[in-house]
Amino acid sequence: MSRLLLVRHGITEFNSSRRFAGYSDVELNDEGLRQVEKLRDRLAKEKIDAIYCSDLKRAVATAEIIASGRNLEIVRCPELREINYGDAEGLTFEEIGHRYPKLAEAITNFTLEISFPGGESFRGFIARTRKFLDRLNKHPVEQTILIVSHGGPLRVLVCDLLGIDQSHWRQLRCDNASLSIVETYPQRVVLSLLNDTSHLRDEV
């Protein structure tokens, strides 16, 4: 059995203000740092054999905090970046509605055919994220792999690993500093934890 620990980065100012942060390289805010420290403490006794993360600052900082005290290389993976929202980067949904009403309508009526002007198509984003799974093939069974990324790519990975069509992507929730666990066996894949944030319960 391989054990995959899927972690979304801590909160940022863009998250707090509900702005679209795809390729925007925003950093964790103070609350985000506290969230990740709590997650680090939760995972302190967990055996981790390898760490992969998106190469954007908010994911790298999250991985570095969780990895503190462990003698492990953090492998930065561009394929784990959030979707490139293009012209919508840094905007709230309300602002997108005013500037790009057709895009706002497409976001509301989500399908796999959505494409962000100046950014990625959703199908292109899925294909790019799926490439990450090739990295896992080199790991022997019975290893525990920490994967730190963003809400979008993590949901793509969960759907792909479980054999769920990506059209259900939007039905999965992945909050900041959440932990999900996928266990892979020779004959099946088991989702044993999804979007758990119990370590943040005393957050204000």
Catalytic residue numbers read 9, 150
Q: Report the C-alpha gap between 73 and 121 in whole angstroms.
A: 32
Query: In this structure, which long-range contacts are made by residues 62-67, counting pairs with CB atoms below 8 Å and at least 24 apart in sequence?
Result: 62/7, 62/9, 62/10, 62/28, 62/32, 62/36, 62/148, 62/177, 63/7, 63/146, 63/148, 65/33, 65/36, 65/37, 65/40, 66/7, 66/36, 66/39, 66/40, 66/146, 66/148, 67/146
The amino acid that residue 183 corresponds to is: E
Q: Report the C-alpha gap between 181 and 187 in whole angstroms.
A: 17
Q: Where does the chain show beta strands of DSSP type E?
A: 2-8, 50-54, 74-77, 144-149, 179-184, 189-196
